[in-house]
Chain A
């Protein structure tokens, strides 16, 4: 049965608070934190990018379980901030974890769900016996245009999931996707910052697709929200996942362990994957987890997951790599000027 063999997360240490950004633009911080439920977001160091974050997340995953890297047959990295437009992050990750040269690889883009798309691909390759293990990674150093609403939440971070068949710590029983052509949020080639349709990103965007994929899967499985212990939704802010959870019948307690956005921000391709990792950090054998990502453009990937007793076995050492909680602790706060320098928002002389 295909599932998650091991997982790892990496979150940069720097943070900026919403009120620090609001000060610069003359906005009202409590309106924003009140409206979004986000208080601070992660900021990459000057020498970090999507590739370095992806490598650290993958290496963290491999710290938890003894896997021969030569048996990793595929690496897919999903991001909207790949360091190169042409030259895959997946190659750098593959090299840095020792999986090259016998491996398949590609970079994915599907806004915030590029990483979960990678999970689905790996599932297919594993299920069809084409590979033994596949890494699906969602990593981003997300950009929000200065003074735009997205600037308050666009954060940096990544999660890596190793998919395989042998003794998974969590089985992925089912996955399905709901995809349409919806221009809710986009970035044209060569543009520095994304643009979005404002309130249009809500109902026709996030909610239609998350509800679409979620209901599709619940129908296909003949299940409902109460059949799950936990649920993780894509979290561009705290309000959207809280609202969609309610609509689908999930309680706030079910989504609590996976709701990291208030202290982390929206790590785009890392978002629902880090939420899933945070849930696995505290999960016990037998726990059932519902996951639904969302990527603008638009689409959602839903997953039905159950935790096995492998998560408590000797083969898997959860404590060997930092938990999401640990990565959120002891941040280094920066002010806007340093944040802008780190995010390349200051125009330097060539």
Chain B
């Protein structure tokens, strides 16, 4: 991933900045500038997600691409954020402990790096929310 492409999404990756349609209350992550329901009558503003949510489904990745190979086995899940949108994310815990319905919250971690001399990509993973 090029530096520009990563940098462009830092507000989303670090701080879960999305949008909300004030007209109908629907939240969007990643941000949308146009509400598919309200269309032109939707008033869209920036919204910072709390980072809390529930696991919808999950797996344990045991064979990954080169970038993530040293992290295996790791838990991957689809999390439904409390405000509504769903995201795909790594869950930091013993992989076998992830369960459908588990509550999780965001944590700041290294997602990947462009080798030993390239840029480090930081972002949000999720931990169990006791």
Contact = CB atoms under 8 A, between A and B. Distances in A.
Interface string A52-71: 10011001000000000000
Interface core residue of B10, B108, B125 (most chain A CB under 10 Å) = B108
B24 interface: no
Contacts of B71: 46-47
Interface in A26-70: 45-49, 51-52, 55-56, 59
B15 A98 contact: yes
Contacts of A55: 108, 122
Interface in B1-50: 10, 14-15
B116 A52 contact: no
B116 A48 contact: no
B108 A350 contact: no
B100 interface: no
B115 A350 contact: yes
B111 interface: yes
A51 B107 contact: no
Contact of A84 (B107, B115, B120): B120
B10 A47 contact: no
A309 interface: no
A59 B15 contact: no
Given A96-B15, A350-B115, A350-B116, A59 B70 contact: no
Contact of B110 (A52, A84, A96): A52
A95 interface: yes
Interface residues of A, number: 19
A252 interface: no
B92 interface: yes
B110 A47 contact: yes
Nearest to B127: A13
B99 interface: no
Nearest to A55: B108
Given A83-B120, A96-B15, A47 B111 contact: yes
Interface core residue of A45, A47, A92, A96 (most chain B CB under 10 Å) = A47
Interface string B88-130: 0000100000000000000111110001100010100100000
Contact of B109 (A52, A92, A348, A350): A52
Contacts of B92: 45, 47
Contacts of B120: 49, 51, 83-84
A58 B99 CA distance: 30
Contact of A96 (B14, B70, B115): B14
B115 A47 contact: no
B51 to A, nearest CB: 10
Nearest to A332: B94
Contacts of A45: 92, 109
A92 B110 CA distance: 12
Nearest to B48: A98
B15 A47 contact: no
Contacts of A52: 108-110, 122
A49 B111 CA distance: 11
B59 to A, nearest CB: 18
Given A56-B108, A96-B15, A98-B15, A51 B70 contact: no
B43 to A, nearest CB: 23
A92 B70 CA distance: 24
A348 B122 contact: no
Nearest to B109: A47
Nearest to B17: A98
Contacts of A49: 110, 120
Which 3 residue pairs of A and B lie closest in terms of their CB atoms, listed nearest first? A55-B108, A47-B109, A47-B110
22 contacts: A45-B92, A46-B71, A47-B71, A47-B92, A47-B111, A48-B110, A49-B110, A51-B110, A51-B122, A52-B108, A52-B110, A56-B107, A59-B108, A83-B120, A84-B120, A92-B14, A92-B122, A95-B10, A96-B15, A96-B122, A348-B70, A350-B115
Interface of A: 45-49, 51-52, 55-56, 59, 83-84, 92, 95-96, 98, 341, 348, 350
Interface of B: 10, 14-15, 70-71, 92, 107-111, 115-116, 120, 122, 125
Given A47-B92, A51-B120, A56-B107, 9 more contacts: A45-B109, A47-B109, A47-B110, A49-B110, A49-B120, A51-B122, A52-B109, A59-B108, A348-B70
